[in-house]
Amino acid sequence: MFKSLISRLVPSKLGHRKAKHRRRPANLIYGTEDTPPQATSVVLGFQHAVESASKITLPVALLTAIGASAQELETMIVATLVMSGIGSMVAASRLPVFGFGHLIPMAIFSSFVSAAVLAARMGGLALLAGMTLITGMAICLLSRVLPRWRFLFPPEVVGLIAFMVGASQSSLAVMRFLGMDRVEQQPGLTHIIIAGGSLALLAGLTVWGKGPLRLFSSLITLVVGYIVCLNTGMVKPELWQRVLDAPWIGLPVIHPPGLAFDGTLILPFLVLGLSATLKSSGDLTICEKVSDADWKRADLKASSAAVLTFGLSSMVSALLGGFAMMSSSSNVGLSAATGAVSRRIGYYCGGALISLAFFPKMVALVGAAPPPVVGAMLLLVVSYNLIAGMQIIMTRMMEARHTYIIGISLLFGLTTDAIPGAFRDLPSWLRPLFSSGLTLATVLVVLLNLIFRIGTSRRHKIVLDPNAEDVDKIYDFMEESGAQWGARREVVERAVSALVEGYEVLAGEGLAKGPITVQASFDEFSLDLNLRYDGLLPEIGRKALSPEEALSGGVSTASMAGLLLSRLSDRVRTKSSGRTCELDLHFEH
CB 525 within 8 A of CB 535: no
For residue 569, give the CATH number of its domain. Answer: 3.30.565.10
Per-residue model confidence as pLDDT tens digits over 485-542:
888 888 888 999 999 988 888 888 888 888 999 999 987 778 999 999 999 888 764 4
10 is a domain residue: no
Could you tell me which residues are beta bridge partners of residue 586? 528, 571
Per-residue model confidence as pLDDT tens digits over 391-408:
888 877 887 888 888 999
CA-to-CA separations, 385 to 30, 279, 345, 426, in angstroms, rounded: 19, 12, 20, 31
Same domain, 230 and 377: yes
> What does the alpha-carbon distance between residue 471 and residue 462 come to, in Å, rounded to a whole number?
12
24 is a domain residue: no
Output the average pLDDT for the chain. Answer: 82
Q: Where residue 11 falls among pLDDT bands split at 50, 70, 90?
A: very low
Same domain, 44 and 142: yes
Q: Which helix (H) or strand (E) holds 394?
A: none
pLDDT, position 454: 78
Q: Which helix (H) or strand (E) holds 454?
A: none
* H helix runs in 394-486, sequence order: 400-418, 437-451, 471-485
Percent of the residues in the chain that have a pLDDT greater than 90, as a whole number: 20
For residue 3, pLDDT beyond 50: no
Per-residue model confidence as pLDDT tens digits over 292-303:
887 777 787 888
Same domain, 446 and 463: no
Distance of CA 294 to the CA centre of its chain: 16
Same domain, 411 and 464: no
Domain's final residue, options 451, 480, 507? 451
Per-residue model confidence as pLDDT tens digits over 311-361:
999 999 999 988 888 988 888 888 888 889 999 999 999 999 999 888 888
pLDDT, position 180: 79
> What does the alpha-carbon distance between residue 480 and residue 468 come to, in Å, rounded to a whole number?
21
Closest CA to 272 of 109, 419, 385: 109
C-alpha neighbours within 13 Å on the C-beta side of residue 161: 29
246 is a domain residue: yes
For residue 15, pLDDT beyond 70: no
Which region holds residue 429: left if phi is over 0, alpha if psi is between -120 and 50, else beta?
alpha
Domain's final residue, options 403, 432, 451? 451
Kind of pairing between the strands at 526-534 and 516-523: antiparallel
Same domain, 431 and 475: no
Q: Give the total number of structural domains in the chain.
A: 2
Q: Which helix (H) or strand (E) holds 221?
A: helix 217-232
Q: Which helix (H) or strand (E) holds 583?
A: strand 580-588
Segment 122-130 shows an average pLDDT of 88
Same domain, 518 and 428: no
pLDDT, position 269: 84
Per-residue model confidence as pLDDT tens digits over 401-450:
888 889 999 988 888 777 777 777 777 666 667 777 777 888 888 889 88
Same domain, 219 and 317: yes
Neighbours of 18 (CB within 10 A): 8
Segment 136-146 shows an average pLDDT of 89
Closest CA to 482 of 583, 580, 397: 397
pLDDT, position 7: 41
pLDDT, position 311: 94
Per-residue model confidence as pLDDT tens digits over 190-249:
888 998 999 999 888 888 888 888 888 888 888 898 889 888 888 778 777 877 887 888
Distance of CA 261 to the CA centre of its chain: 32
Same domain, 576 and 477: yes
CB 437 within 8 A of CB 415: yes
For residue 69, pLDDT beyond 90: no
Domain's final residue, options 451, 478, 499? 451
- In terms of residue numbers, what domain contains 473? 459-588
For residue 582, pLDDT beyond 50: yes
Segment 553-565 shows an average pLDDT of 67
